[in-house]
Amino acid sequence: MGSSRLVKRIADQLKQKIHTGELPKGSHLGVQKIADQYEVSRSPSREALVLLASEGYLTQERNRGFFVNEPPQTDDARSDEILSLEEPEEYYRLSEDWLNGEIPSEVTEQFLQKRYDLTKFQVIDILNIAARVGWAEPKPGYGWRLLEVAKTRETLEQIYKVRALIEPAALLEPSFHHDFDVLNALTYEQHALLGGDIERLPADVLIKMGVKFHEDLTALSGNALYSMILVKVNKMRRLVEYRAMIDRTRFYNQAKEHLQILDLVKEGNNLEAAHLIKKHLSGSFAMKSPILKFND
């Protein structure tokens, strides 16, 4: 069965949830439930579940639906190719061409339709995603303007400086909630990474888990504005960082530092945790910057 892009996208996102434990062994997945979750019809939902069953991720039981298995231990489980992101594939084709200087800074919908062989609806969809992230805007009257967001090393450094202000401040908010369910779940994820998941999980899952750690921790601040800003700048930097060479060795140090931060927060020592997370972010940019591709 030839899988459409939509079916593959749903299947890839479900695989991520199985690999990370968000969908543990034994979880029940129904066709309608997945259709509702991804806002699609039952047909692509069923195709995605049947595809995952054929790959060993699910077991299909007659009249009961699909149930999650242990993730298959195959050589394909580890991948350094970035494939299954939240946004459509054509969004990343557009961003890659923009970052590489392959398209002009001012474009029309017709130009993008022809270049990427897309429908008008698909073009509007990816342009609206780019506008929400902050690197595209409609021109007055006609056409679109693509912006220089996270296209240079200096801009990416500015994003990390913003994070270095927001994330420590979030830990120091008087409204910070020491939710041990969240903290323990994050601790479990970091230990699982060090216990083998760094070598086993696909590269895009590893990157996504790093983003999740920082966003979940910041959300405990009780300050919705911190969370909103962090989510937006994470989407902006992702345009460049997903293009980086995947060096799995850096994830070991990252997970260890995440655990140190969590230990301090659990002890109620948010001040020291704030100092450590600022140092952590500075070191993260210093490590990634030399391997990222820029046109400056």
- Is residue 82 included in any domain, yes or no? no
Q: What is the CATH number of the domain that holds 134?
A: 1.10.10
Residue 272's pLDDT is what? 97
Question: Do 142 and 35 belong to one domain?
Answer: no
Mean pLDDT of the chain: 84
Question: Do 166 and 247 belong to one domain?
Answer: yes
Question: Do 107 and 71 belong to one domain?
Answer: no
Angle at which helices 120-133 and 89-99 cross, to 10°: 60
- Is residue 210 included in any domain, yes or no? yes
Q: Would the pLDDT of 41 be above 60?
A: yes
Of 146, 166, 193, the last residue of a domain is 146
Q: What is the CATH number of the domain that holds 276?
A: 1.20.120.530
Residue 198 to residue 152: CA distance in whole angstroms:
29
Question: Do 71 and 124 belong to one domain?
Answer: no
Residue 244's pLDDT is what? 54
Q: Which of 24-38, 66-80, 158-172, 275-289 has the lowest mean pLDDT?
A: 66-80
Residue 99's pLDDT is what? 78
Task: Indicate if the alpha-carbon torsion angle 29, 31, 32, 34 is positive or negative.
Answer: positive
Q: In terms of pLDDT, which residue wins out, 82 or 242?
A: 242
Residue 170's pLDDT is what? 97
**Confidence grade of residue 28 (pLDDT, cut at 50, 70, 90):** very high
Question: Do 193 and 238 belong to one domain?
Answer: yes
Domain holding 64, by residue range, is: 5-77
- Is residue 72 included in any domain, yes or no? yes
Residue 279's pLDDT is what? 94
Question: Do 189 and 121 belong to one domain?
Answer: no
- Is residue 296 included in any domain, yes or no? no
The number of distinct structural domains making up the chain is 3
107 forms bridges with which residues in the sheet?
Answer: 144
Q: Would the pLDDT of 108 be above 50?
A: yes
Per-residue model confidence as pLDDT tens digits over 169-222: 999 999 999 999 999 999 999 998 999 888 887 776 788 888 899 999 999 999
Q: In terms of pLDDT, which residue wins out, 46 or 204?
A: 46
**Confidence grade of residue 78 (pLDDT, cut at 50, 70, 90):** low
Of 104, 126, 146, the last residue of a domain is 146
Question: Do 176 and 270 belong to one domain?
Answer: yes
Q: Would the pLDDT of 237 be above 80?
A: no
Q: In terms of pLDDT, which residue wins out, 110 or 19?
A: 110
Stated pTM of the model: 0.65
- SS in 3 state form for the chain? CCCCHHHHHHHHHHHHHHHHCCCCCCCEECHHHHHHHHCCCHHHHHHHHHHHHHCCCEEEECCCEEEECCCCCCHHHCCCCCCCCCCCHHHHHHHHHHHCCCCCCEECHHHHHHHHCCCHHHHHHHHHHHHHHCCEEECCCCCEEECCCCCCHHHHHHHHHHHHHHHHHHHCCCCCCCCHHHHHHHHHHHHHHHHHHHHHCCHHHHHHHHHHHHHHHHHCCCCHHHHHHHHHHHHHHHHHHCCCCCCCHHHHHHHHHHHHHHHHHHCCCHHHHHHHHHHHHHHHHHHHHHHCCCCC
**Confidence grade of residue 84 (pLDDT, cut at 50, 70, 90):** very low
Residue 73's pLDDT is what? 65
- Is residue 162 included in any domain, yes or no? yes
- Is residue 95 included in any domain, yes or no? yes
Residue 243's pLDDT is what? 55
Question: Do 158 and 284 belong to one domain?
Answer: yes
Q: Would the pLDDT of 85 be above 60?
A: no
Question: Do 234 and 105 belong to one domain?
Answer: no
Average pLDDT over every residue of 76-96: 64
Per-residue model confidence as pLDDT tens digits over 124-172: 988 988 887 778 899 988 899 998 765 677 777 888 899 999 999 999 9
Of 130, 146, 162, the last residue of a domain is 146
Residue 163's pLDDT is what? 94
Question: Do 97 and 203 belong to one domain?
Answer: no
Question: Do 45 and 25 belong to one domain?
Answer: yes
- Is residue 83 included in any domain, yes or no? no
Q: What is the CATH number of the domain that holds 72?
A: 1.10.10.10
Average pLDDT over every residue of 1-26: 76
Question: Do 228 and 130 belong to one domain?
Answer: no
- Is residue 170 included in any domain, yes or no? yes
Q: Would the pLDDT of 2 be above 50?
A: no
